[in-house]
Structure 1
Amino acid sequence: MKNINVQFDMPDWVQQGLANNQYERFGGVIRENASGKIVVYLRETNSFINQSLSNLSNIGSIASILNLGVSVIGFALILNKLNDLDNRLLVIENSLKDIQSKLGDINYKIDLTFKSELIGALKQLIKAISLSDNCLKQRLIINIVYIFEKTTAIFKDITEKNSQSAIFSYETFCSAYQAYFLFYLSSTSLSICYLEVNELMTAEKILKECIYSSKEIYQEMLLLDYDIDEEDQEEAEEKAIEEFLDSIRDSEWESSIIFPTSLAEYISGGFRLKEDSENIEKRCQEQYTHTKQMLKDFKNLLLNLKSFSEEIQYIQKADISWSEWKSLKPTNNFSESEYIYVIPCAASLK
């Protein structure tokens, strides 16, 4: 480990680089802007994860919680501390029943027995992560890999079909987002399975496939064109997000209109609203805010995937095992720092 420096405190040179825009943080890594080279890997500390989870105890979105996992290890630690996976995934399962009926026209049926299988596999993975007996760990993981492979394929397919919708309502976008999150959860968990048996190349391949699919889904939903110049992409994305949010607001207003059924009804009253306009506007604003947060979560999850993939790439370059990488820690054991800063020496990045 001579090529890796591990410490609780952010080095002064990194702080200065962030302040003068020489460096920039992207999820779980800090990069040099000019070259794109990673100069620091971030890893959440146990104390930070515990505090964050206690602060988020009232939030219903499991995605909001797993967004805390900026490193693969952080993701695994957070997953290990989610004791109410049954309740959190039940909320998602209920909404997916709507998807089943919507996709029935194209002869696609969702097997809703995923809930017990996925939860069971996640619990077995959590157990495997904590085992020191490698033989027992491998037996457990072999038994659950196929479940994550199946749920990854199912929810990728569902999300891709939903992302091709011509017009999104708030409800259809919520369903698409929840299906995407289960695709993300299944893919990341599958990758961790392979990491735990030290199959780093396979783990990285799974994440790269998930990143590629996630980008395509995001672009499809927002009708983004990434063939434009790089400097115009950010502006185009911001415009597309605003248009997407406006379309969802418009869809809610349109669903609240009672259209006249005859000429006489049109002349006498025209269009009418199902309820008070103030109530509709309030609901539209709540949906607008929630949709904006889901889009932000989507981008954060994609950012995490990229961080996970780069982390695994570095482990391979450094020629160390996954268990050695997990065991890296500063020599001083006490700290209230939110992160451990893993600083590779220049030679180990080549």
Structure 2
Amino acid sequence: MSLPVQITFALAPHIAKGLAQGVYAVCGGIILDTVKNNNIIGFLRGTTPTPTSSPNNVLNLIISGANLLTSGANIAVSAKGFSNVNQRLDNGFSDVNQQLSNIENQIQAIGKPLQISPELLQITTAASVLNLGVSVMGFAVISQRLNEIENQLKQAGELLSKINRKIDLSFYANFHAGIELALNAFTMTRIENRRSSALQAINRFLEAEHIYKDYTVNELSQKSPIIDKYILTLSLAYIAEARCHLELEEHETALRRFQEGGKFIRLLLQKYIELMLTSNPAAYLHPQFKGQIDLHKLTQIYQWIDPNFNENTVFEMQRENMFKLTQSHDEWLSSLPSAIVDRSEIQWGIFGGNPTPFTGRFEKEAYKRLPQVFEVMQSMIETNRRFEAYQTEIQAISQLGISFHDWLKLSPSTEIKPDGAELMYIIPSKPLELQPSI
């Protein structure tokens, strides 16, 4: 029986053209038709094996001896992967150069590799703890990501000890135990044993969800530097639970749990983003950040909060803030949350006086951190988009009538994976009229 999807390492020319012209857009690993009600054109799936540790330096932003850690782990699709998605075009596209002359820099002639740039795919290179595609977020990957977050929290504990706060890492052991139960469950041959063990794992994940909801809310109230770690842990708990339901082919339950978790996580993340934007977001447009942060990037942050925002809207929002930053600079510095910089992190003065926002050292440290803080926000938003894209992917699996286990096995049947290719594309035979969760 033929499946109602095409799986390929090459991006079809008409889709590449649509992306170049802005008719299509990629969000969280889903290709959307922005003209026709955001119909689903296709899905991206990472093909690179998960490394044993993350090579991404964005994970460990060490600033003045304090750890300001990003949310991400290894990005599933690197910029190199986007620029080296190589595949020869079929003979049927003999006139491809004429059809796609306006994007000839992205799509080469017949017999040459099809090279897709990051700009064409419009995918952020922000680090993310989540891979592209729910199918590649298995329990082993979840366990690895959890280990990375736990290690980051241990490092952050050194910082928090300076302000007499401790991190409780004890419940991570229970989360890991749930993952072990799940791994064992789905290697069992007897259905009743598999289901029983899977339900035990689900109970562990449900407990983790409740625990890390409370932890995140508490850290938000403290405006602490580890809020993002608990949001990520909460996301992984929901993914682990949903993965169990998918393995049991309970698509509706998996989707419902994703949706319930997604609403709460988005609420928490929005509070976090608003906190990190500070009382005066115009600070991110300071002249010293030229080449690092611009109005376009700041607008992308606001568009995650409200898609109706554009650059003009954001500029008007920040017009007065730019003047306020100059007039009330010390007031802004005093309002910065511990999630960005805490007074206890700055070295005391030569005469023993604890630095205040007015000493200069605090100001210098605050501005030094803002570009990294901005990367953290970008990373968290990209992770949330992928989390929400998983929901849409599950809807697609159900609508296409494909079992989750068959979806896992999808791969190009006649193509050889090109060297350096880190993506494959799953293209439905016709666009799916789904309501994206992103």
Specify the TM-score bucket, using the shorter chain as the normaliser: 0.7 to 0.9
- 1:8: which partner in 2? 9
- State yes or no: 1:220 paired with 2:271: yes
Contact kept in structure 1, 2:8 and 2:411, CA below 8 Å = yes
Question: Structure 1: which 5+ runs fail to align?
Answer: 260-268
CA distance in 2: counterparts of 1:52 and 1:3, whole angstroms = 35
- State yes or no: 1:117 paired with 2:174: yes
- 1:76: which partner in 2? 138
Query: 3-state SS of the aligned residue for 1:43?
Result: strand
Q: Please show how residues 188-337 of structure 1 align to structure 2 within 5 Å.
A: 188-221=239-272, 222=274, 230-232=307-309, 235=313, 247-248=335-336, 252=341, 273=355, 280=362, 283-332=365-414, 334-336=416-418, 337=421
Residues 195-249 of structure 1 show CA distances to partners (whole Å, capped at 9, x for unaligned) of 11111111111111122112211333317999x9852377559969x99x97538
Contact kept in structure 2, 1:43 and 1:339, CA below 8 Å = yes
CA distance in 2: counterparts of 1:249 and 1:62, whole angstroms = 18
Residues 299-344 of structure 1 show CA distances to partners (whole Å, capped at 9, x for unaligned) of 1121011110000001111122111111111113521322121111
CA distance in 2: counterparts of 1:54 and 1:90, whole angstroms = 12
With over 3 angstroms needed to count, the CA separation of the structure-2 counterparts of 1:134 and 1:338, relative to structure 1, is farther
With over 3 angstroms needed to count, the CA separation of the structure-2 counterparts of 1:161 and 1:278, relative to structure 1, is closer
Query: 3-state SS of the aligned residue for 1:273?
Result: coil
With over 3 angstroms needed to count, the CA separation of the structure-2 counterparts of 1:123 and 1:287, relative to structure 1, is farther
- 2:153: which partner in 1? 92
- State yes or no: 1:133 paired with 2:193: no
Q: TM-score, normalised by structure 2?
A: 0.61
CA distance in 2: counterparts of 1:190 and 1:97, whole angstroms = 31
Contact kept in structure 2, 1:317 and 1:349, CA below 8 Å = no
- 1:162: which partner in 2? 219
Contact kept in structure 2, 1:194 and 1:200, CA below 8 Å = yes
Residues 94-147 of structure 1 show CA distances to partners (whole Å, capped at 9, x for unaligned) of 7579999x9x9xxxx997431211122223434556x37363543432221111
- State yes or no: 1:38 paired with 2:47: no
CA distance in 2: counterparts of 1:114 and 1:143, whole angstroms = 16
Contact kept in structure 1, 2:7 and 2:426, CA below 8 Å = yes
- 2:202: which partner in 1? 145
Query: 3-state SS of the aligned residue for 1:156?
Result: helix
What is the root-mean-square deviation in Å for CA atoms of aligned residues? 4.4
With over 3 angstroms needed to count, the CA separation of the structure-2 counterparts of 1:298 and 1:32, relative to structure 1, is same
Residues 229-271 of structure 1 show CA distances to partners (whole Å, capped at 9, x for unaligned) of 852377559969x99x975389748665989xxxxxxxxx9x8
CA distance in 2: counterparts of 1:56 and 1:231, whole angstroms = 32
Contact kept in structure 1, 2:205 and 2:241, CA below 8 Å = yes
CA distance in 2: counterparts of 1:213 and 1:237, whole angstroms = 30
- 1:339: which partner in 2? 423
Residues 11-49 of structure 1 show CA distances to partners (whole Å, capped at 9, x for unaligned) of 00110000000100001100011121110111111xx24
With over 3 angstroms needed to count, the CA separation of the structure-2 counterparts of 1:121 and 1:230, relative to structure 1, is closer
Query: 2:137 is matched by which residue type in structure 1?
Result: F
Contact kept in structure 1, 2:41 and 2:428, CA below 8 Å = yes
CA distance in 1: counterparts of 2:316 and 2:52, whole angstroms = 29
Query: 3-state SS of the aligned residue for 1:63?
Result: coil
Query: 1:144 is matched by which residue type in structure 2?
Result: A
Deviates more, 1:296-305 or 1:273-282: 273-282
CA distance in 2: counterparts of 1:123 and 1:208, whole angstroms = 25
CA distance in 2: counterparts of 1:17 and 1:347, whole angstroms = 14
Q: TM-score, normalised by structure 1?
A: 0.74
Contact kept in structure 1, 2:130 and 2:386, CA below 8 Å = no
With over 3 angstroms needed to count, the CA separation of the structure-2 counterparts of 1:111 and 1:284, relative to structure 1, is closer
Give the Å deviation of 1:74.
2.2
Contact kept in structure 2, 1:32 and 1:39, CA below 8 Å = yes
- 2:238: which partner in 1? 187
With over 3 angstroms needed to count, the CA separation of the structure-2 counterparts of 1:293 and 1:128, relative to structure 1, is farther
Q: Please show how residues 10-29 of structure 1 align to structure 2 within 5 Å.
A: 10-29=11-30
Question: Structure 2: which 5+ runs fail to align?
Answer: 61-69, 75-127, 278-301, 326-331
Contact kept in structure 2, 1:24 and 1:33, CA below 8 Å = yes
